[in-house]
Each structure stands twice: as C-alpha cells, then as structure tokens.
C-alpha cells in the first residue's frame, strides 16, 4: 500500500474501516466518491502526499447501509487537515447538497492549489444558490489566492418555473461574473439554454474552454449569452467535446457557428418519445451546416434515433469514412433493410458494431435471415427485445450465419431471462450443433440485471480481440 501512487475507488466509506482510521498512504493521484464533507475531512487524513484529487460528491440520501452523518459543520471544518501538496482538485457534485458554503470551505485547507474544477447537475432550485459570481469570487480570492485555472460547469433543467423568468434571472446571474477579478484571470462564462419540450428548458453555465465532453442540443431553440469580450477569439473553446447529439430541428437549420473539431461520436435524435411516421427530409444546407461544426474524418460512431430520409444517412456515411459503429432505431433500420439495399451494402462494408434500439414495435424474426445476408461482416451486435421467445427464434440463425460475430448482447425486461441463465447450454445442445463450441458463464444478479455470457472456445487462446461471446442482459 505504501508504494501505491495512483488509485481509483468508487466510494470512500467502502474501503476505509475503523481499523484504518489513522493510517496514511503515499498516494499522489486519487479519484474517489464520497457522501459528505465529513468523508472528505477523513479522507484528507489518509492522503497527506496527494497532488491530484478528483472527488464525486453524492447525495447523503444515496448512502447505503450507513446512518447519515450527524457531525455539525463547525466540528468537521475545524478538525480538517491542511493538504500541503495538492495542486489539482476536481469536485463533481452529483445532486443536491446544502449548505453549499460548507462544501467550498474545503478550499481553505488547500493552500497550494493551482487548478480547481467544479461541476454539478440538477434542477434549478438545487443549483441557483451556487450560481453567484460574488460568492465564488470571495471564496476563490481568499481561500486559494494562488489559483491559476478555474473550470466551472453546471447543468440544470427547468420544469415548473417559467423559463422566461429563469432566462431573465440568468442575465442577472451572469452579471455577477463580470468583475475585474474574473476578467484579470481571463475566466469567461457562457450560459446556453434550449427548450426540450413546452415545459422543459435545459440550461448550461460553464467557463471556456468548455469542460463538457458530451453536448446534447436542440439547435433551433438554442440561445446563448456570455461574459466573453467582443474581441476574444472563440478558437479552441469546444475542443474537449467528443460527443455531439443534435436533436432534429423543426426549422431544418443549424444556426450555429461553433466548431467541435474533436467530436468522434455524432447523434441525430428525435424530439420527444414517438418516432415520426414519415421520414424527415432535412434542408439542402443541413449537411453543409453540419460540416462547419465537425470534422467528418474524425467520426467513428454514429447514432440515429430519428426517422431520417435514408439518403441523408447515406450521405453522412459517405463523408464519414471512418465510422465503424452505428446505433439506430429498429423501425428505421427494418425499412432500410427491406427497401434500400445500396445503403445496407455501404453499412456492411463500414460497420463492425451495430446496436438496434427497439422501442415501439417488436423485433421481427422474419427479417433475421435477410439481416444476416446483408450484414455478414458485423462483429459486435446489440439489440433489446421484449420476450425470451425472440431469443430462441433468432439465436441459432445469428450464431450460424454471422461468421464474423464476436459479441452479441440482447436486452430484455422479460423475467424469464433469469431461467435462461440456467438452461441456455442445454438448449443450445438440443437445438443446434454449437454447444460444444461455447462456454457458459453467468451472474444471476448484478445491479438489478441478469447476465449470461457465452464465450467461444477459440477465444480462450486468442483472448479479447478475437473473442466470440454472446451475452444476455435482462433488466428487472
């Protein structure tokens, strides 16, 4: 333990018992989850040589098998240990915690801190108290005067308040970040907001460069305001984003000049739950506008959860020559499979991984043979199905026809999936000649899911890269 320099743990309380209460380590870099400032205080006692620390702070109500902490705030903070070597600190708040001032008061015990990143996600009523520039300026300037980099990101949605009132309030909030303190450090803030539904509006407040790795935006309702000076260059502001989901606009336009040069996962998703009955034909400038946002050559993963005209998918794949993974709505995919052989031929040449998302309809066993013929090169296949009967119908065909298949995962809410864990090998032996080629391993219960894995015998020698395995995942 004394030689350990880097460590990543899901939760602090699970790993430090009373017997280790006074133990110290030589860990210099740590990623860990905690439930309260009291956990952080105790954690600091164990890591006097820590240099880089990332903490995920969960709600106290999520604490399992333990009583909520009852130590008062003053006792916690007064007994905290000063951490002399910590220079990089990331605090990610998962949910609501009050009082917030108690959380950031931890900064007083980090005298050498150079980089501080703060993030949170929730509803407006749980986050507006920390959207106060004056508060942050006071904390940062007094507790960590040597701070050089400050990253700030908050996401929240408005469901019951009137969005226009929140938007007006956001302008007031942003004005509190327009002070000499922030401008002298070149810490600039942006507030983006867009409507997801008539009663739901999403807000994101963040510093630049944008710290998010994932962005989901409905472009025709996107609005933005910022504290950025007019002569400030926007180049590089969104370089950290690697996943971009575009909610299909009602105006068929992308009125957006931002650039996401490092995006490798692109999603085009529908607005709302229901799939539109007729294919969406976007404007002639849609792909040209999209070309201004991303670099096609960087794309390797594509997600289509919208009833798009197949010509659009064809054009996207033609431009994105490195895409080898596709997630697509099953109802859309079945239409392509039966009616657009040219598109399917292109997909088969490009794709190694395919995930079918079945929502409204049922998986049609009659198209399995056609699928295997047109997508013979698929190596990784994911599909969610409704009943266990579908597994028994499609499994022999998939295993025998897809010669390059190395991994198959099906998702189901059918409780009978539990019994599949115990009889799948015997069933294979009865119904196919494949039983001798597979090894079965399964976990009956894992995070409310039942999982069965079949591994091909040849994969034992060739390990992961050439492994043939089939996994069933049933959600309770």
pLDDT of residue 417: 57
- Of the pLDDT bands very low, low, confident and very high (cuts 50, 70, 90), residue 415 is low
Looking at every residue in the chain, the average pLDDT score rounds to 78
Q: State pLDDT tens for residues 360-393.
A: 666 677 788 899 999 999 988 888 777 767 777 7
Q: Helices marked H in 253-374 — which ranges?
A: 286-293, 310-319, 330-339, 341-350, 368-374
Q: State pLDDT tens for residues 193-247.
A: 887 766 678 889 999 999 999 988 776 778 888 999 988 887 889 999 999 998 8
> Radius of gyration (Cα) for the chain, nearest Å?
26
Q: State pLDDT tens for residues 289-308.
A: 888 889 999 999 999 998 88
Q: State pLDDT tens for residues 160-188.
A: 666 677 777 888 889 999 999 999 999 99
Q: Higher model confidence: residue 15 or residue 285? A: 285
- Whole-angstrom Cα distance, residue 74 to residue 83? 18
Measured in residues, the chain has a length of 476
pLDDT of residue 71: 45
Query: Is pLDDT at 456 greater than 60 in this prediction?
Result: no
- Whole-angstrom Cα distance, residue 159 to residue 178? 28
pLDDT of residue 445: 44
Angle at Cα 37 formed by Cα 33 and Cα 38, nearest 5°?
Answer: 100
Q: Helices marked H in 27-177 — which ranges?
A: 37-46, 73-78, 100-104, 124-127, 133-143, 163-175
- Determine contact, residues 305/333, Cβ cutoff 8 Å: no
- Determine contact, residues 307/276, Cβ cutoff 8 Å: yes
- Whole-angstrom Cα distance, residue 251 to residue 219? 9
Q: State pLDDT tens for residues 118-134.
A: 998 876 666 666 888 99
Q: How much of the chain exceeds pLDDT 70, in percent?
A: 69
Q: Which residues pair with 449 in a beta bridge?
A: 446, 475
pLDDT of residue 463: 38
pLDDT of residue 74: 46
Q: Which residue has tokens 């089939």?
A: 470
Query: Is pLDDT at 318 greater than 60 in this prediction?
Result: yes
Residues 6+ apart with CB under 8 A from 454: 424, 425, 428, 438, 439, 440, 469, 470, 471
Q: Which residue has tokens 């298949």?
A: 405
Query: Is pLDDT at 68 greater than 50 in this prediction?
Result: no
Closest CA to 221 of 244, 237, 241, 201: 201
The b/e string for 233-246 (b: 16+ C-beta within 10 A; e otherwise) is eeeebbeebbbbbb
Whole-Å CA distances, 269 to 248, 304, 305, 323: 6, 6, 5, 17
What one-character DSSP code corresponds to residue 48?
A: T
3-state secondary structure of 377: coil
pLDDT of residue 21: 59
Extract the runs of DSSP E, i.e. beta strands, from 297-425: 301-305, 325-329, 353-357, 380-385, 407-412
- Of the pLDDT bands very low, low, confident and very high (cuts 50, 70, 90), residue 254 is low
Whole-Å CA distances, 133 to 62, 112, 206: 30, 23, 12
Q: Is residue 79 left, alpha or beta, with left meaning phi > 0 and alpha meaning psi from -120 to 50?
A: alpha
């Amino acid at each position: 333990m004394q030689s350990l320099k880097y460590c990543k743990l899901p939760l602090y309380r699970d790993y430090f018992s009373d017997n280790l209460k006074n133990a110290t380590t030589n860990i210099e870099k740590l990623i860990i989850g905690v439930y309260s400032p009291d956990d952080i205080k105790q954690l600091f006692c164990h890591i006097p040589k820590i240099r880089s620390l990332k903490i995920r702070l969960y709600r106290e109500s999520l604490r399992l098998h333990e009583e909520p902490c009852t130590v008062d705030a003053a006792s916690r903070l007064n007994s905290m240990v000063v951490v002399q070597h910590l220079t990089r600190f990331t605090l990610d708040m998962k949910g609501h915690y009050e009082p917030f001032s108690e959380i950031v008061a931890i900064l007083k015990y980090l005298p050498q801190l150079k980089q501080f990143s703060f993030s949170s996600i929730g509803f407006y009523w749980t986050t507006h108290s920390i959207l106060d520039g004056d508060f942050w300026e006071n904390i940062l300037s007094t507790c960590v005067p040597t701070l050089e980099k400050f990253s700030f990101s908050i996401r929240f949605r408005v469901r019951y308040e009137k969005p226009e009132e929140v938007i007006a309030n956001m302008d007031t909030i942003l004005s509190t970040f327009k002070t000499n303190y922030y401008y002298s450090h070149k810490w600039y803030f942006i507030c983006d907001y867009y409507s997801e539904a008539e009663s739901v509006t999403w807000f994101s407040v963040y510093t630049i460069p944008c710290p998010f790795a994932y962005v989901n935006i409905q472009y025709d309702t996107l609005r933005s305001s910022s504290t950025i000076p007019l002569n400030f260059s926007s180049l590089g502001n969104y370089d950290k984003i690697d996943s971009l989901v575009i909610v299909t606009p009602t105006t068929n336009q992308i009125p957006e000049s931002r650039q996401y040069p490092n995006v490798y996962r692109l999603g085009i998703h529908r607005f709302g739950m229901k799939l539109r009955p007729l294919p969406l034909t976007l404007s002639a400038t849609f792909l040209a506008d999209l070309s201004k946002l991303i670099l096609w050559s960087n794309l390797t993963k594509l997600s289509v959860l919208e009833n798009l005209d197949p010509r659009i998918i064809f054009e996207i794949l033609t431009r994105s020559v490195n895409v080898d993974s596709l997630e697509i709505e099953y109802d859309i995919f079945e239409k392509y499979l039966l009616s657009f052989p040219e598109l399917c031929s292109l997909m088969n040449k490009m794709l190694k991984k395919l995930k079918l998302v079945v929502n409204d309809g049922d998986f049609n066993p009659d198209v399995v043979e056609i699928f295997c013929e047109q997508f013979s090169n698929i190596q990784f296949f994911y599909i969610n199905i409704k009943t266990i009967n579908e597994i028994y119908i499609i499994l022999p065909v998939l295993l025998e026809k897809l010669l390059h298949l190395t991994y198959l995962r099906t998702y189901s809410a059918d409780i009978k999936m539990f019994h599949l864990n115990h009889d799948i090998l015997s069933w294979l032996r009865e119904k196919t000649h494949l039983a001798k080629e597979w090894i079965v391993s399964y976990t009956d219960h894992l995070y409310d899911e039942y999982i069965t894995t079949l591994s091909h015998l040849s994969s034992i020698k060739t390990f992961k890269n050439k492994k043939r395995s089939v996994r069933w995942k049933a959600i309770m």
